[in-house]
Amino acid sequence: MGRQVDLTLLQKLAQINWFLILLISLIAGVGFAMLYSAANGSIDPWASRQMFRFAAGLGLMLLIALIDVRAWLRHAYLIYAAALLLLVAVEVMGVVGMGARRWVDLGLFQLQPSEVMKIALVLALARFYHGLPLEEVGRIRWLVMPAGLILIPVALVMRQPDLGTAILLLATATAIMLLAGVRLWKFAVALGAILLAIPLAWRFMLHGYQKDRVLTYLNPERDPLGAGYHIMQSKIALGSGGLFGKGFMQGTQSHLAFLPERQTDFIFTMLAEEFGLIGCLGLLSLYILIIAYGYAIAMRSRNQFGRLLAAGVISTFFLYVFINMAMVMGLIPVVGVPLPLVSYGGTSMMSLLIGFGLLLSVYVHRDVVISRRPSYSG
């Protein structure tokens, strides 16, 4: 059994990986600096609120880290069910904002159920594969349930419409299934099916603006003042940053408003303009460090649930980083995915920190061994 598994609160706090928290805070700090610059050298309106949210999220993260990982296993399906219910609620009575129905008003605050689902889906899949022996994983009948777990929320999110989150959910789920041991050829089949579905999706599921974004990605000069404007200006900002950048608060593209959404999805572009390639590589290194740390934590866990949960959370994090950076650099079409911990926005900050809370919980409880079919009483 090795180490003792039931720790006191103080022991747990001592177990927390403070270096990871330092890395997270460093990236958030970069975010504050960029938001300060985005507001032309003012802490208001963005940096201050972002700091407040980060502080609150950090507290929540620690709280979650201290909760026993077995409790998360136990309530995984419940949380998933709640998230799914919220997604349905958004479909029925959500608030329309920016042309999409993504929010549900809970009186005190507005909640974005798709963000909750990012965590809930990881929990549910981790729990499912935790309970499944390796030899059973390959069976077709055991693919039905995860497929349902994945596709129902993906379909609901697509309807909002929120292509970015849908892709994120799908990719994270794929990563978890891959790590759980699903045969590689099955992914090949799924990929083939997706490729076949693309023309259909184009015809029936994608909205006009989404099609525009894809077409613009394929040819940014197609409409330099319309849909192609964002990506052209983003590339100009990035490229003009050069090796060392134009200096903090000296970005002409961002400060003269040529850069769209500079405080949210395109914040990386602003960093690239002001700090150049050096700054970009620095931030990317921080992200890679976190991801490597995350996977190390997953490897250290002595239970499959913890491993899959940690790896799932980190995969989501990686996807955020990759999709956002690839998007602003014109490698993939524009999808609404923020740069984690840096972009302005409360909801993604919260869901990311909750995810890191779970990761830390896995780390704190890494030596807990959980049987495939735990007795829920214990």
CA distance 351 to 221: 36
**Is 299 near another protein (CB under 8 A)?**
yes
What is the 3-class SS of 313-354, one letter each residue?
HHHHHHHHHHHHHHHHCCCCCCCCCCCCCCCCCHHHHHHHHH
Residue 304 engages another protein in binding (rule: CB under 8 A): yes
Distance CA 140, CA 131 (A): 16
Q: Closest distance between another protein and the C-beta of residue 251, in Å?
A: 9
Our finding on whether 281 is near another protein (CB under 8 A) is: yes
| Residue 378 per-residue DSSP state | -
When the beta carbons of 91 and 142 are compared against another protein, the nearer one is: 142
Residue 48 found at the interface with another protein (CB under 8 A): no
Count the neighbouring beta carbons within 10 Å of the beta carbon of residue 362.
28
Stretch that binds another protein, among 31-39, 120-128, 303-311, 337-345 (CB under 8 A): 303-311
349 sits near another protein (criterion: CB under 8 A):
no
Told to check if 170 binds another protein by CB under 8 A, we report no
Q: Is 218 in the site for another protein (CB under 8 A)?
A: no
Residues contacting residue 54 through CB under 8 Å, at least 6 positions apart:
28, 32, 341, 349, 353
The set of residues, in sequence order, having a beta carbon less than 8 Å from that of 7 and lying 6+ positions away, is 15, 364, 365
Those residues with Cβ within 8 angstroms of residue 269's Cβ, 6 or more apart along the chain or in another chain: 234, 237, 238, 253, 254, 259, 262, 328
Q: Does residue 307 belong to the site contacting another protein (CB under 8 A)? A: yes
């849908």: which residue's tokens?
166
CA 214 to chain CA centroid, Å, is: 21
Q: Is 178 in the site for another protein (CB under 8 A)?
A: yes
Q: Which of 2, 98, 256, 378 binds another protein (CB under 8 A)?
A: 256
* Pairwise CA distance, residues 101 & 143, whole Å: 30
Q: Is residue 252 close enough to count as binding another protein by CB under 8 A?
A: yes
* Total residues found in the chain within this entry: 378
From 84-92, 186-194, 199-207, 289-297, give the range in contact with another protein by CB under 8 A. Answer: 289-297
User: What is the strand order of the sheet 95-97 is part of?
Assistant: 95-97, 100-105, 110-111
**Among 63, 95, 134, 197, interactor with another protein by CB under 8 A:** 134
Site for another protein contains 264 (CB under 8 A): no
Give the contact letters, 90-129, x = binds to another protein (CB under 8 A), - = no.
----------------------------------------
**Shortest distance in whole angstroms from residue 106 CB to another protein:** 35
Minimum CB–partner distance for residue 168 and another protein (Å):
14
**Which span (30-38, 188-196, 324-332, 358-366) binds another protein, by CB under 8 A?**
324-332
Three-state DSSP string of 101-142: EEEEECCCCEECHHHHHHHHHHHHHHHHHHCCCHHHHCCCHH
- Whole-number Å distance between alpha carbons of 336 and 341: 15
Q: Which stretch binds another protein (CB under 8 A): 28-36, 68-76, 173-181, 211-219?
A: 173-181
Our finding on whether 175 is near another protein (CB under 8 A) is yes
Nearer to another protein, 58 or 238 (CB): 238
Long-range contacts from 130-133, C-beta under 8 angstroms, 24+ separation: 130/73, 130/303, 130/304, 130/305, 130/308, 130/370, 130/372, 131/372, 131/373, 132/180, 132/372, 133/372
Q: Which stretch binds another protein (CB under 8 A): 39-47, 55-63, 92-100, 286-294?
A: 286-294
Going by C-beta distance under 8 Å and a sequence separation of 6 or more, which residues neighbour residue 190?
Answer: 174
Interacting span for another protein (CB under 8 A) from 38-46, 84-92, 202-210, 252-260? 252-260
Q: Tell me the site size for another protein, rule CB under 8 A.
A: 49
The site for another protein (CB under 8 A) is made up of 133-134, 175, 178-181, 233, 235-243, 252-253, 256-258, 272, 276-277, 280-281, 284, 288, 291-292, 295, 298-299, 302-304, 307-308, 311, 315, 318, 322, 325-326, 329, 331, 369, 372
